[in-house]
Amino acid sequence: MASAPTRPARARSAAEKTQRRDDILRAAERLWNTSTYTDLSMNHVAREAQLAKGTLYLYFDTKEELFLALVSEHLQTWITDTIQLLQDRRPTTPSAVADALVDASSDVVPLRRLMLLLGTVLERNVRPELTREFRRDITARTQLLVTHLPFSRDASLQILRHLYALAIGWQHVAEEFAGSSATDEAGVPAPDPYAAEFELAMRAVIDRIVAGQPAPRQA
């Protein structure tokens, strides 16, 4: 069987280079939706993007760098979308904030899967300067997100730290649960535990953190 034709190896203009980088990320993302990190290789990404393997290395030195770029992109999108949701709803109570944060986190499975890799694989295997740049960018965006929550800065940061930990933790549980093929007594597969348990935990955390804090800021 003839292999798929590859595109020209060199993108000349800045716009072409930006588009080529995006093509690579989109190819990796498509594969990531149906594959594990271990099984996915730069060769696979090159074939999916219809590029020579060497072309990928003009943009990313390693698979870890490519996936760190995906994490950064997904996190930036999530923060931007969450800020927009908070601006639209203007929540002022713990319950309303929980509603917004749970809704913002309910349909981001690719991001949650990527976050499982962040501390265990990606940051340990990329150049230190890339890790520092990633952390600076996400910290700055998180600080902006904090300003749209109706609680004190410290309480808002604590809530976001718990959201991060709970999202990763429950995604890990959901993946283990799916792999176990758990069924009920009638042999029917049990529902994914992520959504309900994540919401339960987030509501409890927000209620506990906000208790004793100053009254919410008014819009």
Per-residue pLDDT tens over the stretch 97-133: 999 999 999 888 889 989 999 988 998 899 999 999 9
Low-confidence ranges of the chain (pLDDT < 50): 1-5
Structure tokens at 215: 């009254």
The model carries a pTM of: 0.83
Whole-number Cα distances in Å, 213 to 9, 82, 92, 207: 57, 23, 13, 10
Contacts of 183 (CB under 8 A, 6+ apart): 189, 190
Contacts of 102 (CB under 8 A, 6+ apart): 198, 199, 202, 203
Q: What is the distance between the terminal CA atoms of the chain, rounded to a whole angstrom?
A: 63
Question: Which domains does the chain possess?
Answer: 1-60 (1.10.10.60), 62-210 (1.10.357.10)
pLDDT at residue 15 in the model: 87
Q: Which amino acid is at 33?
A: N
Whole-number Cα distances in Å, 57 to 51, 208, 209: 11, 48, 46
State the average pLDDT for the chain.
Answer: 86
